[in-house]
Structures are given as structure tokens and as C-alpha cells.
């Protein structure tokens, strides 16, 4: 998936599992059927068809983590959507060490993960 115009105007390639591609395709079909004339160019939109707000995403994430049984360790330490990205990065670095890769030389790939996927190294 290509993510365009992110923070700081970047564009990124994000690899997706085939099941995620299927789920996104299903979502797009439902979204487009419900709202044939888009209100926003965003992929994920609200019921009103507008771009999702950060606060709404956070509240939904809290509800989903609670439903999944993931509990906060303290009032100041709770699961956040950004933690998923951090967990991916840490897991990737650990895998590099386990496989004997020189992790230090691989670090730039975390910033531009799409380059690693396109080169077949992911």
C-alpha cells in the first residue's frame, strides 16, 4: 500500500499481508456503496464520509484494546496506536540480530521500509 502525503509530506510503501489487502478491499466496497460520492480522499473515513479525527481513532483503539483484554500498566502507561509501529520496528531489529544481519547497516530500511520490500530483503 502506498501512503501519500504523510507527516512532513512523505510518501511511504507499506507491505501488507494478503488478509489485510482482502479486508481493505472489502472495506472499500462497503464504503463506496454507502457513499458513492466521496467527501474526503482519505481511505478510512467516518460514517459521515469525512477524514477520521485523531481523537476518534484513539477512543476506538482504547475500546478495541479493552475488548481484546489488553490492559494499561498504569494511569500513565496505556496502549496507543503508535505502539504497534514501535513493536514492529523492535521486532524487525531483533529478527535482524537473530539472522546474523548487521542491524546497524539495516536501520535506514526502517525509515523507508518499502525499499526493503521492493528489493526482496524483507
Q: What are 12-40's pLDDT values in tens digits? A: 777 788 898 999 999 999 999 999 888 99
Interhelix angle 81-98/54-67, nearest 10 degrees? 70
pLDDT at 113: 59
State the DSSP string of 28-95. HHHHHHH-SS-S-S-SSB-TTSPBPPHHHHHHHHHHHHHHTT---SSSS----HHHHHHHHHHHHHHH
**106 contacts: CB under 8 Å, gap ≥ 6:** 93, 96
- How long a stretch of residues is the chain? 122
pTM exceeds cut of 0.95: no
Amino acid at each position: 500500500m502506498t501512503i501519500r502525503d504523510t507527516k512532513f509530506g512523505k510518501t511511504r510503501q507499506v507491505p501488507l499481508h494478503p488478509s489485510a489487502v482482502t479486508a481493505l478491499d472489502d472495506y472499500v466496497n462497503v464504503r463506496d456503496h454507502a457513499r458513492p460520492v466521496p467527501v474526503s480522499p482519505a481511505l478510512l473515513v467516518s460514517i459521515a464520509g469525512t477524514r477520521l479525527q485523531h481523537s476518534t481513532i484513539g477512543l476506538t483503539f482504547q475500546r478495541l484494546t479493552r475488548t481484546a483484554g489488553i490492559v494499561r500498566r498504569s494511569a500513565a502507561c496505556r496502549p496507543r496506536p503508535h505502539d504497534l509501529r514501535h513493536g514492529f520496528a523492535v521486532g524487525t531489529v531483533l529478527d535482524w540480530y537473530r539472522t546474523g544481519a548487521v542491524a546497524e547497516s539495516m536501520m535506514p530500511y526502517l525509515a523507508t521500509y518499502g525499499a526493503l520490500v521492493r528489493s526482496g530483503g524483507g
